[in-house]
Amino acid sequence: DGGITQSPKYLFRKEGQNVTLSCEQNLNHDAMYWYRQDPGQGLRLIYYSQIVNDFQKGDIAEGYSVSREKKESFPLTVTSAQKNPTAFYLCASRDRGGNEQFFGPGTRLTVL
Amino acid sequence: QQQVKQSPQSLIVQKGGISIINCAYENTAFDYFPWYQQFPGKGPALLIAIRPDVSEKKEGRFTISFNKSAKQFSLHIMDSQPGDSATYFCAARGEGSTLGRLYFGRGTQLTVWP
């Protein structure tokens, strides 16, 4: 099955710890995106990458970092510098010539 | 600054009724306007999309109306069903160096009563 997988589905973290969220796609898409979703806030863009080894900050990149070493993988690290990390995180991908962004199932991060 | 403004925040409709969600934008360079549907605990999925050279697009019970001069577009759900209960997001796509990036509205939580 082609698609986007995110793991884990639920993640709990203690304050002050870094945590990495996984996003893998087997759609052979060039572009990948990370969004954060909070109630009533819509989807806010954290980082995006249009090709391997290149990525750009979105609107709320502070406290987050990413890497794009492989086309199929775009992991997001939530660092201890992110002041309010509890949220639902969504990864998406898009084919170079396509319009649609395909979303993964999301990871719900809770900071204890 | 919110690039795409969406209203209402929540909507309650009786089964069989029409659900209408509205969005407005300012950037005239936007070139693609999708609507996404999201069920609780799931990722959003594309529902229907339109380009600015078309005033209306219909797919089954779902219709997008687009008013380029007013910089507004809306989603109409005809004969709304309980299974349509979900959160709906409008979006607009940037161009140039941000090609492919979407700007999302804040979402509308639709509840359809049986």
Burial readout B70-101 (b: 16 or more C-beta within 10 A, e: otherwise) = ebebbbbbeebeeebbbbbbbbbbbeeebebb
Residue B96 pLDDT > 70, yes or no? no
Model confidence at B19: pLDDT above 80: yes
Give the CA-trace dihedral at A95, B39, A77, A18, to 10 degrees.
Answer: -170
Contact criterion met (CB < 8 Å) for B34 and A100:
yes
Q: Is B104 on the interface with A (CB under 8 A)?
A: yes
Q: How many CB atoms lie within 10 A of CB B18?
A: 12
Mean local confidence (pLDDT), B88-109: 85
**Does the beta-carbon distance from B49 to A100 stay under 8 Å?**
yes
Question: Is pLDDT at B98 greater than 90 in this prediction?
Answer: no
Q: How far apart are CA B27 and CA B14, in angstroms?
A: 35
State the amino acid at position A2 in one-letter form: G
| C-alpha to C-alpha distance for A36 and A33, rounded to whole angstroms | 10
Is pLDDT of B103 > 60?
yes
What would the pLDDT profile of A44-103 be if each residue is shown by its tens digit? 999 999 999 999 999 999 999 999 999 999 999 999 989 899 999 999 999 888 889 999
Nearest CA in chain B to A58: B101
The pLDDT of residue B101 is above 90: no
First to last CA, chain A: 35
What pLDDT shows up at residue A40? 83
pLDDT, mean of residues B41-49: 96
pLDDT for position A1: 57
Residue from the list B42, B45, B104 with its beta carbon closest to the beta carbon of A42: B104
